[in-house]
Amino acid sequence: MKKLLGKIILFLLVIAVLCVCVVGVSVVVSPLEQVIGTLTCSNDYDASEELGKIEEIDKVKYSTGYKKLIVDDSVCATMFKRLQDKNDVYLFAGTNRAFSFPGFYIQIKEFLDNNPDAEEVYVFVGKDTWETTLDAQYGYHCLILPLVYTDTYKYLDENTKEYCDKAYPGLLLNKTFVDAYMKSSLIRKLTLNLLLEYHSKILGEDVSVPFVKTDNEVSPLAYQYFNDILKLCNERGVAVHFIHDPSEYNSERIEAYNRECEMLREVEDDSNRDIIELYLNSILYYPAEDFIDDVHFKGDKDLNDSVIRDMQRVTGLLQDINL
């Protein structure tokens, strides 16, 4: 126990020293940030992921007059964001899979709090999002850090915050530290690599894969915030729809979908059955040549418009989106 405590204290001390030393040099004397980043090989640790999430949280924190909100992972985010200038009913606030259900819940809560005349909420996800956990790196810099930065971390439930206290100890949940993290590539590099060490050596987790998932099971985190989203929308009298990400047509993806059906029907009950069945029945398949990788569509307007029309046809929803 003493050895474990010593490691935890050492971890926190290292972070504290980073804040004092690096912030004092590279943030206060901002012209040196690029130089320090080059000397420490940390310039690759830019803050684009974090800034993207912060921007999508900020979108929903104000009264905008939009009646409908779409939150989604990166598969659909790239299709919808380009349409914002053409639509004054829908607000598109897409992120990525790592932002996950807790992030979507907070976006929806903020939108409904600030837009009391809202009518509908759409959530676009895929199998991976249902399996997402709060892992060492992505859970921190793609979800928890943006929430702390935007002062929305407080909306997570107490069980989630208790887990975060263990997973991202001490200063990592402190707003001052988060501000420093956003300004210094060296702090970002050291923090994310130290988190891997901490989760591996102290918490005993397997960090050999980039994303830690509950393979073929709905993660407790996703299930909790899925139900929180349903409850929130029901309380506000707002319709909520979950729609499946489109998928490449191949045997691997079909098998993954079949497993997804099994895992979601294990958590299906009278309160969510219609939502889950609409979601499962909304999947669409497209040939490999339509994708730039194994999940994301090419940025072709005609293709993206065609996919959205297919969604409209299959679900009967989204009829008033302007393409």
Backbone phi, psi, residue 262, to 5°: -65, -45
The helix/strand/coil state of 293 is coil
Across residues 80-89, what is the average pLDDT?
94
- List, for residues 187-207, the tens digit of each pLDDT value: 888 888 888 888 888 888 877
pLDDT tens digit sequence for 90-129 = 999 988 878 889 999 999 999 999 999 999 999 999 999 9
**Alpha helix stretches (DSSP H) within the chain:** 2-22, 32-39, 48-59, 74-80, 100-114, 127-130, 138-139, 145-149, 158-167, 175-183, 185-197, 220-236, 251-265, 273-281, 301-315
Residue 257 has a pLDDT of 96
> Token pair 């969510």 is at which residue?
272
Q: Which fold does the domain 64-133+214-315 belong to in CATH?
A: Rossmann fold (3.40.50)
**How far is residue 94's CA from residue 107's CA, in Å, rounded to a whole number?**
10
CA 13 to the chain's CA centroid: 29
- pLDDT on residue 135: 86
Task: Count the neighbouring beta carbons within 10 Å of the beta carbon of residue 75.
Answer: 23
Q: Is residue 21 predicted with pLDDT exceeding 60?
A: no
Mean pLDDT of the chain: 87
Q: Which tokens hold the place of 153?
A: 């971390």
Nearest 5°: phi and psi at 74?
A: -70, -20
Percent of the chain with pLDDT over 70: 85
Instruction: Say what angle helices 175-183 and 2-22 make with each other, to 10 degrees.
Output: 60
The model's confidence at residue 59, banded by pLDDT at 50, 70 and 90, is very high
**Count of CA atoms in the C-beta half-sphere (13 A) of 258:** 6
138 to each of 41, 58, 148, 195, 301, how far by Cα in Å? Answer: 20, 20, 15, 10, 30
Q: What is the pLDDT of residue 25?
A: 46
> Which pLDDT value is given to residue 251?
94
Share of residues in the chain with pLDDT > 90 (%): 58
Map out the domains of the chain as residue ranges.
2-39+135-202, 64-133+214-315
Question: 10 falls in which pLDDT band (50, 70, 90)?
Answer: low
* pLDDT at residue 96 in the model: 82
- The pLDDT tens digits of the residues spanning 25-56 come to 445 445 666 666 665 666 677 788 888 899 99
Mean pLDDT of 153-173: 92
pTM, entire model:
0.90
Q: How far apart are the first and last CA of the chain?
A: 60
Query: Would you say residue 213 has pLDDT above 90?
Result: no
pLDDT in tens, 257-304: 999 999 999 999 999 999 999 999 999 999 999 989 888 888 789 999
